[in-house]
Amino acid sequence: MSSGLRVLAVDDVPAALDDLCRLLREAAEVGEVAGAGEALSALRMIQNERFDAVFLDIAMPGLDGLELASLLAKLAEPPVVVFVTAYDEHAIAAFGVGAVDYLLKPVRPERLADALARVTRIAPAEDSVPVQPDAMAALPVESGGRTRYVHRDEVRFAEAHGDYVRLHTPSGVHLVRMPISRLEEYWEHAGFARTHRGFLVALEAVRELRSDSVGGLLAHTDLGDVPVSRRHARELRERLLHAARRGDLSRPEQRL
């Protein structure tokens, strides 16, 4: 078996793919390089083989690079993602889906070396616990023809709204096209808990649990009350208590 990183390069332009593969093979940190001409082929290769890193173009027909990176982030042991593109306007979105670097074409050897150094720090050895990218740490929000990114730590709670989710933040309510069940998958290990069929709350945003006028349970936040169903009440209390014991709840006025 060769030593060094096992890397997959993905680009739909054959000449660009050849150039990237050549540069990667010349790098001392890289032990093996494979190439894929489109995102679906790359996804199948990653599902069937182990890669330490994927160097990924963004603008590709069908499934683009950002969509592929979002899919990779859901794998149990995802490869480290580095974007390689001719366009600089996607940088914020790229880091939002967990990329560790963003290279502009034509790729300069010194920038590639920087990216590989970052990959080497993150990519695990075969006998170590993998370090996974932080999936959906920021979500793109379209408003007035512009895109802004709402960071997860801004969100107090999320509310289902048809095919969308309303993100309640101090800067306002932001609408994202995503079912709340999928958002829960992304954020449940980052301090968010389901309280109700239609609500997801940041544990550290819960100031207290209180009863409503008809005996139901509410999780009180500085942006409003979040309903807590009987089904989720016990688990929410347990997670809040566990977080408090670990010191993860920063607000001292919590009463559980």
In the numeric block, the tokens 């688990």 are attached to: 235
Q: Mean pLDDT, the chain, as a whole number?
A: 85
How far is residue 96 CA from its own chain's centroid? 6
Nearest CA to 170 out of 134, 224, 131 is that of 224
pLDDT at res. 129: 44
pLDDT at res. 252: 36
pLDDT at res. 130: 46
More confident: 251 or 224: 224
- In the predicted model, is pLDDT for residue 3 greater than 80? no
For 103-161, what is each residue's pLDDT tens digit? Answer: 989 998 888 998 998 898 887 544 444 444 555 677 777 777 676 778 899 999 999 99
Give exposure, 111-123, as e/b (b: 16+ Cβ within 10 Å). Answer: ebeebbeebeeeb
Strand partners, 146: 143
Dihedral pair phi/psi, residue 165, rounded to 5°: -125, 135
The percentage of residues in the chain with a pLDDT greater than 90, rounded to a whole number, is 46
pLDDT at res. 134: 56
43/203 Cα distance (integer angstroms): 34
Q: At what angle do helices 39-48 and 65-72 cross, to 10 degrees?
A: 20
pLDDT at res. 246: 66
